Chain A
Amino acid sequence: MTDETKRNDAATNGELKPVRVEPNVENEARPYPLPNLVGESNPEPSAERRDVASERLIEGAVVVEDGVKKVLRRRPPLLEIQDLNVIFGENQVLRDINLKVRRGETVAVIGESGCGKTVLLKNMIGLIAPTTGRVLFKGKDLARVSDKALTEIRTHYGFVFQMAALFDSMTIADNVAFPLRQHRRNMRRSEVKERVESLLEEVGLNPKIVANKTPAEISGGMRKRVGFARALAMEPELMLYDEPTTGLDPIMSDVINELMIEVRDRRRVAGVLITHDMKSAEKVADRIVMLYPHARLEPDEPQMIFDGTPEEIERATDPRVAQFIRGEAGERLREMSAGR
């Protein structure tokens, strides 16, 4: 095997060493934005930021490695969902869902309560198995890999739960250290302590104040941030956020938004955000997809009724999308009374 072939294989397998990215015709190089500090106000998402986001996707970019030019086209998406159907008993929740999440990209999944957003998220990490269809992480089907392989794959994910899901029998420090203690057995205690402190500081918590408290002794916003720190502990490649701003005050919601942006921009981590909060979706996401409840779809209608950028969703012509983003009840109350 020649050196060039080896390099091409590495590129297609998604195991590239740091390379210089040259701008191609459609993709003019811009510097990465500087990370925002926690709590600092962030302007509304700009067109420039979205271009920078699309630049991070790398697909289609020309790379130069050791003087050899290559176009990265065949790199599989980080996460790919193919024809996903999920049925519980007689109740179909998801129908023919197809979705790709590329490296460095944050996708927001919106939709009204009960439309299957959380079920979709749990399918993405293999907590719920698809009835039919496939969920691929870096090309590996989560339903077909062994338990051991699935466990290894899950260490590449970070999951921020709606209610934080902290272990209430452990202190905050032990919660954040938990994944490190499970998977980085060779880390010394001092290293784990240092890392926990750095993660807590990163999410705006003072380790000296919170480290020895239990989850019951801190506020809801703090618990969410501890959950965030725990999800980041293993340096994931894909973050899954399950309604991270639900139940928080507007300022704390924005702090969480800033954290998600920082994770994406500074750590170059891809993300899937499940939310009802349009402000959060438009601020954080590079792409927004909208799910519609299966029970209210026409027989051959796709369940994903929108897939586009935050700018595009503002101009969406589908009345269901427009109704959702404007938060208007319309005829919904009467529809629900009629059992739809």
Chain B
Amino acid sequence: MMRVKSLEWEKPSRWERFVESTATIGRAITGRVALAGNLAVFSVATIFWLVVKGAKRETLTPAFYNVGVLSLPVVMLTGTFIGMVLAVQSYPQFKLVGLETRIGAAINLSLVKELGPVLAATMLAGRVGSALAAELGTMRVTEQIDALASMGVNPIHYLVTPRFLACLTLIPGLTLFADLMGVVGGAFFSIKLLGVDWSYYWEYSRNMVGLFDVFAGMFKSVFFGAAIALICCHQGFRCGAGAEGVGKAATSSFVISFVAILFLDLLLGIGLDQIQTQFLGGPKGSMI
């Protein structure tokens, strides 16, 4: 994107600059509030159409293929590397205190509770979310969304509902695959390359990682998937004019999605930990 510094014809006075900067801050705040409100209305409309009319098979199949099948290799690859990186980073620390046999517990717990869901969601936001925003943004700019509406087809129902449903339902599966490959990658690196005893590795993992931890990761991923689909489709729908507008929509969709993923991760992490502590008697095992 080429930026040329604007020529200034008249220099504003100090008071005018103050007024202008105050107005800019005000506009930014009201703009963000309006954006949040707009996103809320958009989300309600999407869920409304999903509940009332579902999604059409002709739109659902390509959305599922794009979100699920095409994302699977990259999510699995990311999971594998993250498992290995965790092994590389944590092994020296564990070895210092003589607990290297328990490295499996740390790696696998981190993977299923945090890194698996967050990284699968980040990959989805980067690979699918940005593409969704760019695709819908281009449709907005070239009046294809108006064309849909003019033919008596609701654009949110036709375009957003299948993508939302695909992200919502397929992200737990993607997370599971990321977890699985992370576990395999971490185990391979720890056992084969770092020489950790395999029986201790799996024994401590089994003692530390419970079914609730796997469930917690997958439960969180559903919220991440929903947030990614809604944010990215919304950015595409409100895309500005021209190539710059589409580029901005794609970039901002990823940035907002990523922030939303981390924010939701924090909130859900606190909530799920409370549930585990209050109702399930705390974590399954102890590292020490």
Contacts and interface: CB of A to CB of B under 8 A. Distances in A.
Interface of A: 122, 125, 127, 147, 151-155, 157, 159, 161-163, 165-168, 178-179, 181-183, 230, 234, 240
Interface of B: 58, 142-144, 146-147, 149-154
Nearest to B153: A182
A151 B146 contact: no
A163 B143 contact: yes
B130 to A, nearest CB: 17
Contact of A155 (B143, B152, B154): B152
B150 A157 contact: yes
21 contacts: A127-B146, A127-B149, A147-B154, A151-B154, A152-B152, A153-B152, A154-B150, A154-B152, A159-B147, A159-B150, A165-B146, A165-B147, A166-B147, A168-B142, A168-B144, A179-B153, A182-B151, A182-B153, A183-B152, A230-B151, A234-B152
Given A161-B143, A167-B144, A234 B151 contact: yes
A154 B149 contact: yes
A165 B144 contact: yes
A179 B142 contact: no
Contacts of B143: 161-163, 165
B150 A125 contact: yes
Contact of B146 (A122, A155, A167): A122
A163 B154 contact: no
Given A151-B154, A167-B144, 11 more contacts: A151-B153, A154-B150, A157-B150, A159-B146, A159-B147, A161-B146, A165-B143, A165-B144, A166-B144, A168-B142, A179-B152
A168 B143 CA distance: 11
A163 B147 CA distance: 11
Contact of B151 (A147, A162, A179): A179
A155 B154 CA distance: 12
Contacts of A240: 150
B214 to A, nearest CB: 37
Contacts of B146: 122, 127, 159, 161, 165
B62 to A, nearest CB: 8
B142 A155 contact: no
B59 to A, nearest CB: 11
A39 to B, nearest CB: 26
A147 B53 CA distance: 13
B147 A154 contact: no
Contacts of A155: 151-152
A40 to B, nearest CB: 29
B152 A182 contact: yes
B56 to A, nearest CB: 9
A127 to B, nearest CB: 5
Contacts of A178: 151
Contacts of B142: 163, 165, 168
Contacts of A182: 151-153
A168 B145 CA distance: 12
Which of B144, B147, B154: most chain A CB closer than 10 A? B147
Contacts of A179: 151-153
Contacts of A127: 146, 149-150
A159 B143 CA distance: 11
Nearest to B145: A165
B231 to A, nearest CB: 22
Contacts of B58: 181
B26 to A, nearest CB: 14
Contacts of A234: 151-152
A157 B147 CA distance: 11
A155 to B, nearest CB: 4
A166 B151 CA distance: 12
Contacts of B151: 154-155, 159, 178-179, 182, 230, 234
A67 to B, nearest CB: 39
Contacts of A122: 146
A179 B149 CA distance: 11
Contacts of B147: 159, 161, 165-167
A168 B146 CA distance: 14
Q: What are the 9 closest A-B residue pairs judged by CB atoms, nearest first? A: A165-B147, A159-B150, A154-B152, A165-B143, A155-B152, A151-B152, A179-B151, A161-B143, A165-B144
Nearest to A174: B58
A143 to B, nearest CB: 15
A28 B260 CA distance: 70
Contacts of B152: 151-155, 179, 182-183, 234
Nearest to B49: A147
B133 to A, nearest CB: 16
Contacts of B153: 151, 179, 182
A157 B153 CA distance: 12
A177 B152 CA distance: 14
A167 B144 CA distance: 6
A154 B58 CA distance: 22
A240 B142 CA distance: 17
Nearest to B151: A179
B148 to A, nearest CB: 8
A51 B21 CA distance: 62
Nearest to B48: A147
A165 B152 CA distance: 15
Contacts of B154: 147, 151
B141 to A, nearest CB: 10
Nearest to B45: A147
Contacts of A163: 142-143
B24 to A, nearest CB: 15
Contacts of A161: 143, 146-147
